[in-house]
Amino acid sequence: RKEVEQDPGPFNVPEGATVAFNCTYSNSASQSFFWYRQDCRKEPKLLMSVYSSGNEDGRFTAQLNRASQYISLLIRDSKLSDSATYLCVVNPERSQGNLIFGKGTKLSVKP
Amino acid sequence: GAVVSQHPSWVICKSGTSVKIECRSLDFQATTMFWYRQFPKQSLMLMATSNEGSKATYEQGVEKDKFLINHASLTLSTLTVTSAHPEDSSFYICSAREQGWDEKLFFGSGTQLSVL
């Protein structure tokens, strides 16, 4: 089983749509979780951290289910500028600061 | 916010040559820097962890004699791809961790290496 697994997509949605991404991780001892955004041939940029209680930042909502080892990202009212690849990222217990990246889910928002 | 500068952005070189990529933390001290490689449509794969003043720790399958890493100061780490071959063509990204911030990573803008 891959350490961090994501649906690669692509997700093609119209502007204004709500889209959800899922991610699973294999290491039950993982300590912290993040969603990053990466544009083509650019560096990843931190979108938000993910907490067990769930957290929201504007149109973005992240959820963590430790029992199921499952992370989600919900984007409401999609904008054209949301088009990018979204990376699920896990910080495993065994190596502080060594983040494990999923392959990413590609989102394309169309007018 | 903290900035990591990575240079060059693009490199095209002939097979057999060596290429050096620099990663600088501009406004903070980075005790640890990470080097990643990303092939098209693949995830970022950690190549090595670079600690200032000590030898880098390489991930399994990464040849330390081919990918030379030097972290001589708290603001600079370099990755040298020695005797590059076409299969080394990839997107290389560095990241730096600020002292005291165990999980907060700042990424360089990446280097696209094309070996002919």
Report the gap between the CA of B65 and the closest CA in chain A (Å): 22
Interface A-B, measured as beta-carbon pairs within 8 A, has a size of 43
- Per-residue confidence band for B8, with pLDDT thresholds at 50, 70 and 90: very high
Asked if A103 has any chain B CB less than 8 Å from its own CB, the reply is yes
Q: What is the pLDDT of residues B19-58, one digit of tens each?
A: 999 999 998 888 889 999 999 888 888 899 988 888 899 9
Q: What is the mean pLDDT of chain B?
A: 89
The residue-averaged pLDDT of A53-75 equals 94
Q: Tell me the three state secondary structure of residue B60.
A: coil
Asked if B103 has any chain A CB less than 8 Å from its own CB, the reply is yes
Task: Give the tokens for residue A60.
Answer: 């973005």
For B32-35, the CB contacts below 8 A with 24+ separation are B32/A97, B32/B96, B32/B97, B33/B71, B33/B77, B33/B94, B33/B95, B33/B96, B33/B97, B34/A97, B34/A98, B34/B94, B34/B95, B34/B96, B34/B97, B34/B105, B35/B67, B35/B69, B35/B77, B35/B79, B35/B92, B35/B93, B35/B94
Report the gap between the CA of A43 and the closest CA in chain B (Å): 5
Q: What is the pLDDT of residues A20-60, one digit of tens each?
A: 999 999 988 888 899 999 998 888 998 998 988 889 999 99
The residue-averaged pLDDT of B64-69 equals 94
Q: What percent of chain A has pLDDT over 70?
A: 94
* Beta partners for residue B99, in sequence order: none
